[in-house]
Structure formats: C-alpha cells, structure tokens
Amino acid sequence: MPAEPSMASPEDLEAANRLTHREILASLDEKVRPAHTALLVIDMQNDFCADGGLVSKDGRDISEAQAMARRLPRLIDTARAAGVLAVFVRCEYSSEGNAFLSDVWLEQAVRERKGGFTRIPVCARESWEGDWYADIRPAQGDLIVVKHRYDAFQGTNLDLLLRSHGIRTLVLTGVVTNVCVETTARAGFVRDYYIAVVEDGCAAYLPEDHMQTLRNVRRFFGIVPTIDQLCALWAPTQRAMGGRDGKA
C-alpha cells in the first residue's frame, strides 16, 4: 500500500492554503517533523498480545501482534532520539466495582467475548494482563494515558496533553488496528490532528481487518507510512533540525 497520499496539484494546494489560517502540511516529511508530532503506542498490553492473555485464551491468532511488537521498538527508539513526543496509551476496563463497564459494554461482551469482562477481568489495574507487553513500555519523559474505551480521547486528558505540547500530527501504532487504533485515529482527525497510521507498526487478529482499516484511513482520515519511512525521516540528526529539544 502506498504510504504517501497522491500529491495535490500546486493549484489545489494554493487554493486550500487560502482557506485555512495556517499552512497545510502536505508531505510526509512536513507532517511528521518531530517538533509537532506525537507517537501514540496504543494498548500494547499482555491481554492483547501475550500468550496466556485474553485474546490468546479466546483462541484468536495473536501472531501478527507479536510480530509487530518485535518491529515496534526500533520506531519508538528512533522517535525518542529525534525528539518526537512518545505517548503510551493503555486501557483499564475491569476494576473494583466495575465502575467503567456499562450495560451497553457488557451486552457486547456477552455476545462476543466468551466470558471476557463478565467472568474474566480484562486489563485490570496492576495485573499481569493489563501490564505492558514484553519490552514495549514507557521510558522517562514519555507520557502515559489511561483510557476506558476504544477511543483514547474519550474521558482522558490526551487532547489537553497534545495541545499543551504543540502537537499537530499523531502517528499511531499498536493494537488492534481496526478497533482502538482506528477509533483513536478517527477521533484525532475530527479534532483536527494530522493522522498517520503506521502500516507495519500496528496489527489486527485478521489480516483483512488490518488492511481494511489502512484503506479506510488513507481514503478518509490520513496517511499510512511504514516504519522504515518514519525512521529515515527521524534520524537522530533531525533533532537539530526541529526535534522537541531544538524547537525549530
């Protein structure tokens, strides 16, 4: 899948710029410059990625999630070195008293989750199931956002954190492509963030679900770069050219 959108004609870009109060970020390079970009790492937790987690126990194929998890640290490390803001998003669903589980949520769980949320806690706080998967976890200076729904903006301080840091572009990674990643991408787009969903930096449990989201994102919500493309742009030398420390 092409990572870049079709380049607009100079005439169309000029016309679009006349209609907005600030210059449009048209190219991948412009969109993901470290000074205004956040890397969102979504739901890389044992329940969704690990053998013995909820999804594995459900009998679903987690191999793509685990393969993606082996690729993701290179992107995270490169982003940090370039001065990109790293935001680790994790979910907490089950809790004492189940304060976050509505009747709507539980009805869906009864139909589709094989005991998840009802008999089996999901991503409970301070549990192995809710912990970060493998070595994909926040480092000093990274931000952490805890969510209770698919959308990382819903009921969280994510939007405030992003705007406080001058963020214009969200680069989304993690699981599951067609659920929390896509829901957050949509929510970010309607809040006027540029959206980039990393083609090989997120995963779903069915290949067709992953590909459908990428097609949908590219058509309606943003762009679909690869890890290699982003790492090439976020080489450590870019810190001097516009990383968050340099504030170019």
Positions annotated as catalytic residues are 43, 147, 180
Q: How would you classify the pairing of strands 37-42 and 169-175?
A: parallel
| Helix (H/G/I), strand (E/B), else coil: 116 | strand
List Cα–Cα distances, 128 to 45, 51, 169, in angstroms. 9, 12, 32
Q: Are the C-beta atoms of 156 and 88 separated by less than 8 Å?
A: no
Structure tokens at 232: 């090439």
How much helix, strand and coil, in percent to the nearest 5, is found in the chain?
40, 15, 40
Cis omega (within 30 of 0) for bond into 217: no
Q: Are the C-beta atoms of 40 and 72 separated by less than 8 Å?
A: no
